[in-house]
Amino acid sequence: MGSFKASLFILALDLLVGVLSNSLIQLNNNGYEGIVIAIDPNVPEDETLIQHIKDMVTQASPYLFEATEKRFYFKTAAILIPEKWKTKPEYVRPKLETFKNADVLVAVPNPPGEDTPYTEQIGNCGEKGEKIYFTPDFLAGKKLLQYGPQGRSFVHEWAHFRWGVFDEYNNDEKFYLSNGKNKPVMCSGAITGKNVIKKCQGGSCITRACRPDRVTGKYEEGCEFVPNEQQVEKASIMFDQSIKSVVEFCTEKNHNKEAPNQQNHKCNLRSVWEVIRDSEDFQKTTPMNTQPPTPTFSLLQIGQRIVCLVLDKSGSMATGDRLNRLKQAGKLFLLQTVEQGSWVGMVAFDSAAHITSELRQIQSSADRDALIASLPTVAAGGTSICTGLRSAFTVIRRKYPTDGSEIVLLTDGEDNTISGCFNEVKQSGAIIHTVALGPSAAKELEELSKMTGGLQTYASDQAQNNGLIDAFGALSSGNGALSQRSIQLESKGLALKTNQWMNGTVIVDSTVGKDTLFLVTWTTQPPHILLWDPSGKKQDGFVVDSQSKMAYLQIPGTAKVGVWNYSLQASSQTLTLTVTSRPSSATIPPITVTSKMNKDIGKFPSPMVVYANIRQGARPILRATVTALIESANGKTVSLELLDNGAGADATKNDGVYSRYFTAYDTNGRYSLKVRALGGVNAARQVPNGAWYIPGSIENGKIKWNPPRPESNKNDLQGKQVCFTRTSSGGSFVASGVPASPTSDLFPPCKITDLRANIQGGRLINLTWTAPGDDYDHGRARRYIIRISTSILDLRDKFDNSLQVNTTDLIPKEASAKEVFAFHPENITFENGTDLFIAVQAVDEVNLKSEISNIAQVSLFIPPQTPPETPRPSVPCPDISINSTIPGIHILKIVWKWIGELQIGLN
């Protein structure tokens, strides 16, 4: 019977397979519907911004339509307006649209003046992005010279966001050597322009042609490719969408495969159009025969938060202290997580539903206490989830429409009738967050979250993992201002033996400290609780709730910045500690950690990817210690160190997104994710996936330079050490196809994605890369295969037939270590101007091979020999009297030479 239930579980949840995303976008008859464009609450009120957004999307739609061979256009979009802006009759309340699931965010630039439109991409080639970012000045058309028309830039970013393609320029390496000649990094190569440099001194500037370095052959630093304003080439949008003639993406016919850009690096030399063509969107559409309609817009304004708790109190909730753990987690939510001013109601259900509290606005601690008193205290009866949901709709509708309201649904019971209210849920416009408690929670529960854009979480019966409190602690508002959100600093538990201590520290950093709460729970008897603030002062005043087996202390005002120490003592029971706080300032953004898996179902033996995004506002936090804790339905917890090294599962180095592969499946069913982060460096924001900042243009033969791109302060680039602690619930996912006892190694090493090559001392080639593991990015590979070719396509498509390098002495290191290897090319023609391409493959103990690495390129440049100087015969000095013409002739030659160089640069 157990295996039959498990089969039904997997069958029901197979519907949810896919990249995990809360986006509401749907592709309907070639038109994208449900795009959510949110205006950040910190953007000053400006009604013209709404029109600028409309204009951008309206201009972008026909451009997208033509660029995709009449396949796609923008059909509908919702503009999310901050709550603090003035209300208008045409502004309506959102339904499922929130700031958290917005596809486009309009925010003030950070640092000021950095208005580059960009897309946050944490995945690899072909994987959807997270969010597109614009600034008010960009949308207002104040950056036309630097980025071109807003609608064209939107299409550039949409390609990043929707189809997972990458830029075809390279700000770090603007030129590369090919057959001994410098070429600009771009696609296609038919774009015309000049390679020039602008030199300024003492307030005057000259423009001249770029000069190659005599030793390396590469252009001098500061050299720029400036395109001609008038072009005939149609590609490519991912290089420079601002050029009027550019209306297409690069295809396999005109794609520059040798250019060292992100598109080639991440997409295995494939053109942008090839990646788009392989997308799910492309596969389910055909070209249209008519012109698309103009996009339509809905204007939505955020209102007060309305949330109803729907809590299971069926007989099974008496098992394993579940009902009491529910009370503990519910109390944390009502005391701390839900924001002041919110409306909260409550429904308890078994086989019937019971309204325990009508909607009540939280305006004081008395309101919070009254709601806490409404939490269920007795468990009995069956499980009818739909009955509970219908009662929640009733509670909400007595005061407000259900559009945009939230329901927190917790259940531990089976219910095979849950699909009976799916249509009601869809029509309600409510967002449903689900909490699955224990191994037998209803199998279709996650479908409710999936269809409404809610959070899905899972908590096991292992109280020391604190899963239920973490789930409720993660339910801060998706629309509230960041300054009002509850942030979890610590979540820890331990099963103690006789008179054992649970000791630790929590860091309260300067970005948080308001409404700080320390919460302790236990399973049998109240523990001995000791807490000291950073000055060493002991903190008293814990409120003890013996019935609910919990105690809490709310720090008045703003908690002291620094290290707080705690010691908890108990015997033969489980303790947990949870610490939450709110931002200390409405203007300084707090350090936040958000975490998730790349998919909501893991199909064995395919790996999952864990992501943790750590930042302060738009600025990434680098070099943090980040650990993911993944708990299975069996109660087993796997600990993974997450890395921001640009290797293995991590797509981009030093972007504040920490990643790792997860392969340690031990059973089918639900898994939960929690991430812990400690310390790091607050660095300047980088823009890896955005529109090209155009250095200038050539009009009628004259170069018109744009203002230089704003540069971050050097201190910002170096980063500042920040001390903090955070924990983050990453929700849940489901594993399927896991064998009862795996008999063989099915996981190969991961692909090497950061192979780099350079030439040193003549023909010695140095390679560096990050070591993969035996199983993706875990363990140690057995050996490497390195092959070379003078043809980049032969190396990619015929790797096994390409010339192999001797790697007998190359012993792989542990995963994530830095590998270094040098060799002299043998048995291959390698002379001046030769381009050589290199790739690596890792092999594990059972001969499973990784994918072929990214392809690195070197170009052999032999500096021309400088002829020895011939001694000149000594001659008498010429007469340099005022009547002599010789010095005048010499000076005239110098002047004409300088004018010639200047003219070359200008032309």
Per annotation, catalytic residue among 157, 339, 406, 446: 157
Tokens matching residue 482? 């960041």
For residues 153 and 155, what is the distance between their CA atoms, to the nearest angstrom? 5
3-state SS class at 561: coil
Burial class (CB in 10 A: 0-12, 13-18, 19+), 585: middle
Strand partners, 490: 579
Q: Name the token pair of 673.
A: 């994710």
Which tokens is 827 given? 């048995």
Tokens 């789930």, located at residue: 471
Give dist(CA 682, CA 621) in Å, integer: 5
Amino acid code (one letter) for 697: S
Of 429, 406, 401, whose CA–CA distance to 477 is shortest? 406
HSE toward the beta carbon, residue 222, CA cutoff 13 A: 10
Closest CA to 752 of 778, 776, 779, 775: 776
Task: For residue 777, give the nearest of 594, 592, 651, 635 by alpha carbon.
Answer: 651
User: Phi and psi for 190 in degrees, rounded to 5?
Assistant: -85, -5
Peptide bond connecting 236 to the previous residue in cis, omega within 30 degrees of 0:
yes
What are the DSSP E strand ranges found in 807-851? 818-823, 835-843
Contacts of 251 (CB under 8 A, 6+ apart): 235, 271, 273, 274
CB 54 within 8 A of CB 76: no
**Backbone torsions φ then ψ of 133, nearest 5 degrees:** -120, 130
- Length, in residues, of the chain: 907
Whole-number Å distance between alpha carbons of 511 and 590: 5
- From the list 326, 303, 675, the residue with the least C-alpha distance to 477 is 303
Active site residue 229: no
**If DSSP codes are grouped into helix, strand and coil, which group holds residue 72?**
coil
Burial 334-360 (b: 16+ CB within 10 A, else e): bbbbbbeebbbbbbbbbeebebbbbbb
Residue 355, classed as helix, strand or coil, is: strand
Closest CA to 458 of 307, 641, 607, 669: 669
Integer Cα distance of 341 and 357 in angstroms = 17
Q: Which of 508, 559, 483 is nearest to 725 (CA)?
A: 508
**Residue 269, phi-psi category: left (phi > 0), alpha (psi -120 to 50), beta (remainder):** left
Residue 663 CA: distances (Å) to CA of 547, 736, 750, 867: 41, 12, 12, 62
Distance CA 120, CA 133 (A): 8
Q: Indicate which residues carry an active-site annotation.
A: 157
